[in-house]
């Protein structure tokens, strides 16, 4: 894909997103839902421009690269806005949703896939683990339009920040079971605690370090740059240590949002951030 073609594609996608936004507003359909429907329509009707882009997709643009580019700042931004006091007050239901809820979703999805499609049960459960960790961005956007209670938003967003660790461990256990034919629950539980505690520790430690640095700097551009570096560094460092990069980014965002912002950021920097 040439640089010119990539820019043209981006412009066309922005035009399409804007057109969908106008249509969604006039039809009084939630914008996030309209985007999903629009994307499905584009894929279903095989638009020549889209087919041409797929054929010219660069080799480096893998799903993992896309995940690394977009996931850390999205998670960091979400955790940055959560007040630790509210999170602590709702910790029990959040943990229930993020652990028992993800496990239940994995089991239900796996057995449904097994019965409907006839896949082996373990393969169905692997698929269940993949799709059980939902992202709340679209749901939270609807919450803002519907003016739902603050506690419900905290529960949904808090669960989404923690469910990835549970789903990742379930996925690892189930994939190992498919390959080896034995279900290593004990080692899976151990890996779960290592991933969760290790990832959170990496994020909280880096978040504290960056918060202390930004407390000594009064320059919004530098402070915002440091927080962006923190979002990516916490994720990548945790991944390299084989602990949860998602929870590391969550920990970093919580630390900056509840300690760094309060202790050392000027009002101008807070607004810019």
Distance, in Å, from the CA atom of 262 to the CA atom of 265, rounded to the nearest integer, reads 7
| The predicted structure's pLDDT at residue 76 | 87
Q: Residue 38 burial (CB < 10 Å; 0-12/13-18/19+)?
A: middle
Tokens standing for residue 249: 């980014």
DSSP H or E stretch at residue 28: none
Using alpha carbons, list the distances in angstroms from residue 101 to 42, 84, 243: 33, 22, 22
List of the chain residues with pLDDT < 70: 1-3, 5-6, 53-54, 56-61, 63, 136-138, 140-141, 183-185, 188
Quick: pLDDT tens for 177-197: 888 777 666 776 777 788 888
Quick: pLDDT tens for 210-261: 999 988 888 888 888 999 999 999 999 998 998 888 889 989 998 998 888 8
Task: Name the pTM for this structure.
Answer: 0.75
| The predicted structure's pLDDT at residue 235 | 92
| The predicted structure's pLDDT at residue 80 | 84
Distance, in Å, from the CA atom of 140 to the CA atom of 138, rounded to the nearest integer, reads 6
| The predicted structure's pLDDT at residue 112 | 94
Distance, in Å, from the CA atom of 221 to the CA atom of 96, rounded to the nearest integer, reads 39
| The predicted structure's pLDDT at residue 179 | 83
């Amino acid at each position: 894909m040439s640089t010119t073609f990539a820019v043209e594609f981006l412009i066309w996608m922005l035009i399409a997103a804007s057109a969908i936004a106008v249509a969604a507003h006039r039809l009084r359909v939630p914008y996030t839902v309209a985007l999903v429907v629009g994307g499905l329509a584009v894929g279903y009707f095989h638009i020549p421009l889209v087919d041409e882009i797929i054929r010219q997709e660069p080799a480096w643009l893998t799903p993992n690269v896309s995940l690394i580019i977009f996931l850390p700042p999205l998670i960091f931004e979400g955790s940055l806005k959560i007040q630790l006091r509210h999170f602590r007050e709702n910790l029990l239901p959040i943990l229930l949703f993020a652990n028992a809820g993800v496990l239940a979703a994995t089991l239900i999805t796996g057995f449904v896939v097994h019965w409907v499609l006839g896949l082996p049960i373990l393969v169905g459960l692997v698929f269940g683990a993949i799709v059980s960790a939902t992202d709340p961005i679209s749901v939270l956007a609807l919450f803002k339009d519907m003016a739902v209670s603050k506690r419900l938003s905290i529960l949904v967003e808090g669960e989404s920040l923690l469910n990835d660790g549970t789903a990742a461990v379930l996925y690892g256990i189930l994939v190992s079971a498919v390959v080896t034919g034995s279900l290593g629950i004990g080692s899976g539980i151990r890996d779960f605690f290592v991933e969760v505690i290790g990832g959170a520790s990496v994020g909280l430690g880096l978040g504290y370090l960056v918060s202390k640095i930004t407390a000594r700097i009064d320059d919004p551009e530098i402070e915002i740059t440091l927080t962006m570096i923190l979002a990516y560094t916490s994720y990548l460092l945790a991944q390299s240590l084989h602990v949860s990069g998602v929870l590391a980014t969550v920990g970093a965002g919580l630390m900056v949002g509840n300690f760094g912002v309060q202790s050392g950021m000027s009002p101008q920097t807070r607004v810019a951030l």
